[in-house]
Structure 1
Amino acid sequence: MMALAKSDVEILGITCVHGNTSLDNICRNVLRVLRMCNRLEIPVFRGASRPIVQKPLTASFFHGKDGLGDAPDPDSPGLELLQKEGAVEAMIRIATENEGQVCLVATAPLTNLALAVKLDPTFPSRLSGLCIMGGNMEARGNTTVCGEFNFAADPEAAYIVLNEYLCPTQIATWEFVCYNKLSWEFCDEWMDQDTEKARFMRRIFAHTMQAAKSSRGEKEAVSGSGFMSCDSYAMAAAVDDTFVTESQKCAVSVELTGTMTRGMMVVDNIGLLKKDHKVSLMKKCDLEKFKKLMMDALK
C-alpha cells in the first residue's frame, strides 16, 4: 500500500512465500490488499510453501491464523487470480526484462530469493538493489533468543542471500525498527483517516494491536513502548532514497549451526569474514518522512 501510494513507483509483481501463515492464505491476503487498492491488475505469483531445510514457522499468534488479523472477508478474491508462472521464474524474468531497474523488496523469509539465485546465479546482478526487512545486528531475537522471524523461518535461505547477492543491499533489522518505532498515538491517527483503506487497516490490524499491547511488559523493558510496522521500513527505503539518514557498511552472514544462535545475522565488525561485499545496515531514519509515507498509504 505504501508503494502503491507513490506515483513514481511501478510495482512489476508481488511474489508470495511461506511466512506468518500458510502460502494459500498469503496469496489470498495479497489479493485482498490489491482489491482494496483497486489494483488487481498487478500480477501475483505463488512461491515456496516451506523453508529449504527446516520445518515451517508461523506467527498466527501475532498476525491471526489467516495472517491478516482473522477479519471476515466474504468477498475475498479467489486464488484463480494468481499467475500461472511461479514466483522464482517470474522474478528472474522480470529482472531480465528490466535489467538494472528493479529494486527487490523482501519482507518475508528469503526462500524465493535463495531459490532464484540457485536457478540463475546472474539474477542478483540484474537488480538495481535489494531492501530486506530481517535479521538483527545486536543478537536480539523476537522469535528465538537470537533470531528475528524472517531469518529464523529459513536460515539457509538467509545465508544464501547474504552471501550470494552482491547487488547494493540495505537491511532494516529488528533492532533498527525497535530504535525507530512510532507512537501508539500515531498508529491511531494513521487508522482514523476517513478512508476505506484506513478502515480496512483497522479491521485487519486489530488482532495484532491486541497481541502487541497484551505482551508489552517484558518486551517493553527491552524495546520500549511503540508501534512497529516492521516491513514498512524496508519499503520506505526502497521508494524514498532519502529516508535512511545513517547506515553502517559491513559484511554479514547468518549462523546455521548454533544451538541458541541459529538464524542470527552475524555482523562482521573486524573483517574476519574476509568478504568484499558490504551491505548497508540501517541505523537512523527520517521519521517525519516515514510518517508521511505511512499516512499516504491509507489515503
Structure 2
Amino acid sequence: MNHLILTPILLTLAVTSTSSLPRKLIIDTDGGADDAMAIIAGLNLPSDTKLMAITTSCGNVNATQAAINVLKVLRVLGRTEVPVHRGCQSYYMTSEDISSTWFGEDGLGDFEFDNPPTENDISSEHGVMTLLRLVKEYPGEISLVCLGPVTNIALAIKMDPSFLKNLHQIIVMGGSIKGMGNITPGTEFNFRRDPEAAKLLFEHSSKEHPVYLLPYETSQESKIDKHWRTSVFGELNSSLVSFINKAEHIALARTPRYWTAPDQLAMLVLIRAEFVRKIDHAMVYVCAEGTMSRGVTLVDRSSKSGNTRIVKKIDVDLFKKFLIEAFQSNRIDTLDNVDCSPCS
C-alpha cells in the first residue's frame, strides 16, 4: 500500500501540484443544501482563485432545480456574475429516480425565497459544453470540484478523451472505500446514482492525472456533534448562516447526534489542503453491473500506478474553524480564538 502521512507543506504541494491555490475553478454540483454550504465556504474566503462557472447535474434534485438553487446561493453571496450552466437532465446510461428528498423537495429546505431566480436566469450553454470549452481555453489551469454524481464529467470525457489530462486537478466527493455506504450496503449516494459515469471517470484517470477522492467514510470519520452545528455555528450572527440554517433545517431534523459535511470537506481539500492529514495512493474502480454491486467502489491499495489519491483524514478542529470564519464575515483575517472545542 502506498500510504502517505504528509506535512501541511508537502500535502499542499501534493494536492495542488504547482501552486498553493489554483487560479481557475469550476464547481459541478447537484444543488443540495450541503452543496450550497460548500459553495459559500469556497467563495467567501479570500484568494486569487477565479470561479469560472458552476455546472449542475441530477442528484439531490434535477439539473434545472439544482441550477436555480445555485442561483439562490450566488444571490445571497452577492456573486451573481458567476455563470450557472444546467448540465445533464438524466444520468449517463440509466433512467433511475433522479432525486432525493433528504434536503426537502427542492433540495434547499423548501423555504420561501424572496423573488426567486427562474430558468430564464440559467446560462444558455449546456454544462458539458461549458466544461469542454473552458478546459480547452485554459489547458492545465482549471481545478474541477465535483459535489454530486459525475454525469457531466463522464460525458465531457466521452466527447474529449483528453479532458482529464487538460485539467489542473479534479476533486470528487463520492464512493465508499470501506463498504459503509449510505444508499445500499457498500454504496455511496453519488456513485450509486450514476455508476456508469463514475466507472468511466476512473477508467480514464491515471497516476499522472489522478482523481482526488473524498469518500463517504472520510466524511463519517470527520463527523461533528450536532450541538456544535446548531448551537455554535448555527447561532452565528450572519445572513449566510441564517440562509444555511433554513436550507438544512429538514435534514437537521432527521439528523440524530452527529452532523456530517462531505461536500464541504471536498471544497476544503481544494482551498485548505493543509488541513488534510492523510492521503492514500490507490487504484480505484467503480462497478456498474449487477444489482447490489452497482456503484460499489473497488480499491487496490497495492497498485504502484494508482489513478486516485484518497483523502483519508481531515483535521476536524481546523475544519470547524474554517466554517466559522467563512460564514461569519466576508474576509479571513485569522483562525485564532475561534471556539471549536467538542460540545457535550
What is the TM-score when the length of structure 1 is the normalising length? 0.91
Pick from 76, 89, 96 the counterpart of residue 116 of structure 2: 76
* 1:248 alignment counterpart: 280
CA contact (8 A) 2:178 2:217 kept: yes
Could you list the structure 1 runs, at least 4 aligned residues long, displaced by more than 4 angstroms after superposition. none
Structure 2 residues not aligned, in runs of 5+: 1-39, 329-344
* 1:183 alignment counterpart: 225
Partner Cα separation in structure 2 for residue 193 and residue 103 of structure 1: 31
* 1:263 alignment counterpart: 295
Query: What displacement does 1:101 show?
Result: 1.8
Deviates further, 48-57 or 84-93: 48-57
Query: What displacement does 1:27 show?
Result: 0.9
CA contact (8 A) 1:44 1:82 kept: yes
Change (3 A) 1:247 1:57: farther
* 1:31 alignment counterpart: 71
Structure 2: which amino acid aligns with 1:25? Q
Query: What displacement does 1:14 show?
Result: 0.3
Query: What displacement does 1:127 show?
Result: 0.9
Structure 2: which amino acid aligns with 1:173? P
* 1:284 alignment counterpart: 313
Partner Cα separation in structure 1 for residue 46 and residue 141 of structure 2: 16
Deviates further, 17-26 or 110-119: 17-26
Count of aligned pairs: 285
What is the TM-score when the length of structure 2 is the normalising length? 0.79
Matches within 5 A, 1:1-299: 1-8=40-47, 9-166=49-206, 167-188=209-230, 189-213=232-256, 225-271=257-303, 276-299=305-328
Partner Cα separation in structure 1 for residue 203 and residue 51 of structure 2: 26
Structure 1 residues not aligned, in runs of 5+: 214-224
Change (3 A) 1:56 1:72: farther
CA contact (8 A) 2:42 2:267 kept: yes
Partner Cα separation in structure 2 for residue 52 and residue 64 of structure 1: 24
Q: Write out per-residue CA displacement over residues 14-68 of structure 1, whole angstroms, 9 at most, x where no aligned residue.
A: 0000111122211110000000000010011010011112223345331111011
Structure 2: which amino acid aligns with 1:6? L
Which structure exhibits the higher relative contact order, with contacts defined as CA atoms closer than 8 Å and separated by 6 or more residues? 2
Partner Cα separation in structure 1 for residue 322 and residue 136 of structure 2: 29
Partner Cα separation in structure 2 for residue 42 and residue 99 of structure 1: 20
Partner Cα separation in structure 1 for residue 205 and residue 283 of structure 2: 12
Report the aligned-residue RMSD. 1.5
